[in-house]
Amino acid sequence: MQRYNISKHHTFYCIGLSYEKANAEVRGRFSLTESARVDLLNEAAAEGIEELIVISTCNRTEIYGFAAHPFQLIKLLCKHSNGTIEEFEKVASIYKNNDAIDHIFRVGTGLDSQILGDFEIIGQLKKSASQSKKLNLLKTFLDRLINNVITASKRVKTETEICSGATSVSFASVQYILNNVQQISDKNILLFGTGKIGRNTCDNLVKHTHNKHITLVNRTKDKALEVAGKFDVTVADFANLESEIKKADVLIVATGAPTPTVSKAILSNDKPLLVLDLSIPKNVSNDIQDLENVSLVHLDDLSKITDDTLKNRTAQIPLAEGIIDEIKKEFKAWLETRKFAPTIKALKLRLEEIKLEEIDFQRKKITDFNEQQAQLLSDRIVQKITKQFANHLKDNDSDSDESIALISKVFQLKN
* 58 is an active site residue: yes
Question: In terms of DSSP bridges, do strands 250-253 and 189-192 run parallel, antiparallel, or are they unpaired?
Answer: parallel
For 156, phi then psi, to 5°, come to: -65, -40
Burial class (CB in 10 A: 0-12, 13-18, 19+), 115: buried
Q: What is the CA radius of gyration of the chain?
A: 29
CA distances for 399 relative to 9, 11, 396, 402, angstroms: 21, 21, 6, 5
Residues 6+ apart with CB under 8 A from 402: none
> Would you say 175 and 82 are in contact if contact means Cβ atoms under 8 Å apart?
no
Instruction: Quote the CA–CA distance of 6 and 67 in Å, as a whole number.
Output: 12
Instruction: Output helix, strand, coil percentages for the chain, rounded to the nearest 5.
Output: 60, 10, 30
DSSP classification of residue 297:
E
- Residues forming a β-bridge with 16: 62, 93
> Would you say 319 and 152 are in contact if contact means Cβ atoms under 8 Å apart?
no
**Cis bond upstream, residue 342 (ω within 30):** no
Burial class (CB in 10 A: 0-12, 13-18, 19+), 343: buried
Instruction: Determine which one of 14, 58, 163, 202 is catalytic.
Output: 58
Instruction: Quote the CA–CA distance of 224 and 191 in Å, as a whole number.
Output: 10
Instruction: Quote the CA–CA distance of 5 and 12 in Å, as a whole number.
Output: 10
Residues 6+ apart with CB under 8 A from 368: none
Active centre residues (catalytic): 58
